[in-house]
Amino acid sequence: MLPGDEIIRRYTQIYRDGLLDDIIPFWLKNSIDDQYGGYLICLNRDGSLIDTDKGVWQTGRFIWMLASLYNDVEKKDEWLQAALNGADFLMKYGFDTDGRMFFQLSREGLPVRKRRYVFSEAFAAIAFAALYRATSDEKYMLKAKECFDIYYRYTTVPGLISPKFTADRQMKSLGVPMIGIVTAQEMRKNLNDSSYNSYIDDWINEIKSDFIKPEWEAVMENVGQDGSIIDHFDGRILNPGHAIEAAWFILAEAGYRGGDKGLVQTASSMIDWMWKRGWDNEYGGILYFVDLKGLPVQEYWHDMKFWWPHNETIIATLMAYEATGEKRYFDWFEMIHDYSFKNFSDNEYGEWFGYLHRDGRLSVPVKGNIWKGPFHVPRMYLKVWQTLERIVSKN
């Protein structure tokens, strides 16, 4: 029996009210740095400050989140001003002299760490693009394009990024094309520019040709430069949450293209395979890492439950139900929803915990750090709310 409108509306209220009355207020209350600008993200369970360093990823992501709320939900000046606060800080302190971005800054904006990768630039691109749509200020459009161009150039031109492995075992990771897809989607939407379709096509095709392995019913996290499976720890590792996140990016593209059946099939298979590999049948929830061949995994946190794979799986299963009408996806949505809200959601102080042991016990009570901030959780609430409203409108 398919879920009726009453069930859909109940979930809609959970995600809408949770976003607007819990998640966003938690971060607006506790993270805005009125003294130096930007956001203080490293927060304890109750929102108190643990560390004053600022992550560039989280800064760009929160700008995007706030600007997206302003663009798509309500023209609230509080959201826009908070986004502009972050953007001013990022424009002033986030960029090195070579045009690349830092990864970690001090509270005052001094550079602390710069990584080889260009994900800071991707998150800055979507931040500035969303702000351009909110403000019509062309400086944000130009900065968004600049950051996107850096991301594209550094991830496609060989030799610009120092390789992680030697030439004897070069690998590439799923993160590059999947982040590329969603970044280009946000650029297209917020700049109203269909030229980004070609980038999206290329990155989807790379995932299909190199990372999706139907013969193994798996989506690889790392492959050789030619898409080959490398039979070592790093080559066999699977990250179910990452692959499922990539799947909903592809589902979003299918929806944009009028329900493209080929893209729906690709994404549905990715979810099917990685749910089967990632769902913990003993304790519930999504395991962080598993091995392609079922062998022991090298990373010691492999069986922990992190917040973000659950956020992404909630989005993906609901979007798969929307795209296919297959009830099993709604059943999976309810399974992952129930597990997540029982174990991650903090009913006392708000927001979500980030890190659980395999059996669901809390590992650490932080609400924010350099890796966890106001992105995966609020994006999930927003995307699920929007998807549920689309489902109701079609019934």
Q: pLDDT (tens digit, 9 = 90+) per residue, 100-120?
A: 999 999 999 999 999 999 999
pLDDT of residue 161: 86
CATH class held by domain 32-162: mainly alpha
- The CATH fold assigned to 1-31+172-395 is Glycosyltransferase (1.50.10)
Query: What's the mean per-residue pLDDT of the chain?
Result: 97
pLDDT of residue 165: 77
Q: pLDDT (tens digit, 9 = 90+) per residue, 380-392?
A: 999 999 999 999 9
Q: pLDDT (tens digit, 9 = 90+) per residue, 157-205?
A: 988 888 887 788 999 999 999 999 999 999 999 999 999 999 999 999 9
Q: pLDDT (tens digit, 9 = 90+) per residue, 294-324?
A: 999 999 999 999 999 999 999 999 999 999 9
Q: pLDDT (tens digit, 9 = 90+) per residue, 242-277?
A: 999 999 999 999 999 999 999 999 999 999 999 999
**Start-end of CATH 1.50.10.10 domains in the chain:** 1-31+172-395
Q: pLDDT (tens digit, 9 = 90+) per residue, 53-79?
A: 999 999 999 999 999 999 999 999 999
**Start-end of CATH 1.50.10.20 domains in the chain:** 32-162
Structure tokens at 316: 């993906």
pTM over 0.75: yes
pLDDT of residue 168: 84
pLDDT of residue 167: 81
List 175's β-bridge partners, or say none: none
- Give residue 4's pLDDT band: very low, low, confident or very high (50, 70, 90): confident
